[in-house]
Amino acid sequence: MNKFSKFLKNSLKSQDESIKAYQCDGHAKVWLKKATERHSIWIYLPLKWTAKILQIKALTPIPNHGGAAAIQCEVKRIQDLQDLGIPTANILAVNNQGLLLEDAGQVGAHVMQLDHALAMLKDDSERKLEFFEEAVLAIQDIHLKKSYLSEAFARNILVNKNKEFTFIDFETDPGHVLDVETCQIRDWLCFIFSTAYRFTEEELKRACQIFINVVFPYRKIFKGVKSIGWKLRWAKKFRFEKLGSDGKRIQKCLLFFHYLEDQEPLPMI
């Protein structure tokens, strides 16, 4: 048993949280993810019926089976992505009760969640859009390798000051219930929903143009994303901002889709 396996085994005995940071033998920080109970199927029903009624496959809920199954899923997804050269957190140790991961911050200085980076740049439109564009290109690179993420929300995308990205949180595998193209469309839905909120309306037009310019050449994926916006266009009349921060996120996401409908790719120079 190596030192990390031993650390994992000993720490699991006292850890109550599902995930916790530790200092461990020369590593500035490690993260221990503990196997937790399987999520109830009931929490997936509203999204399941929404996907069926609106005929949006990408909204199909992806079950988190919890326990050892979720741990093994994360290990396999990390290994598969790393085999493709996609940056994720390194696995230090694993057993059926938990997973010990190297902190992604050790691969570059000042690493933070993309959501946090966009929030910090709220008064610097140009840099904020630069980070957005680099993130779009990083996800597109994953898609060009015939792969996809699990939960492509801005909180699961880490970035450093050099705009280098690391991807985290792989307890679920959308590929178990969706084809690869739909998984990629789902990535974009998660990404748009979690980033549009950080832009003003004028910035959002520019962010939408960036997205179009990068993704439009891959017509089937682009059309899949655009068609979802068309199916959701009826929701624009609702005042989602009255529902708090999540409502504002939905409203900005719908506005992004509105611009997606109106704007065209810029001509090649």
- Average pLDDT score over residue span 219-233: 87
Percent of the chain with pLDDT over 90: 59
Q: Band the pLDDT of 248: cuts 50, 70, 90.
A: confident
Give me the pLDDT at residue 50, please: 58
Is residue 230 predicted with pLDDT exceeding 70?
yes
pLDDT single digits (tens) 144-197: 999 999 999 999 999 988 889 999 999 999 999 999 999 999 999 999 989 999
Q: Band the pLDDT of 236: cuts 50, 70, 90.
A: low
Give me the pLDDT at residue 215, please: 95
Q: Where are the domains of the chain?
A: 3-106, 109-262
Look at 196 and 40; give whichever has higher pLDDT: 196
pLDDT single digits (tens) 55-108: 778 888 888 888 899 999 999 999 999 999 999 999 999 998 999 999 887 544
CA distances from 244 to 41, 81, 236, 250, 256 (A): 26, 35, 16, 10, 19
Q: Scan for tokens 């919890």, then name that residue.
A: 66
pLDDT single digits (tens) 10-34: 999 898 888 999 988 766 689 999 9
Is residue 45 predicted with pLDDT exceeding 90?
no
Q: Which two tokens stand for residue 195?
A: 């980033």
Helix/strand/coil percent split, the chain, to 5: 60, 10, 30
d(C-alpha 211, C-alpha 218), whole Å: 12
Alpha carbon 230 to its chain centroid, in Å, reads 23
d(C-alpha 246, C-alpha 55), whole Å: 23
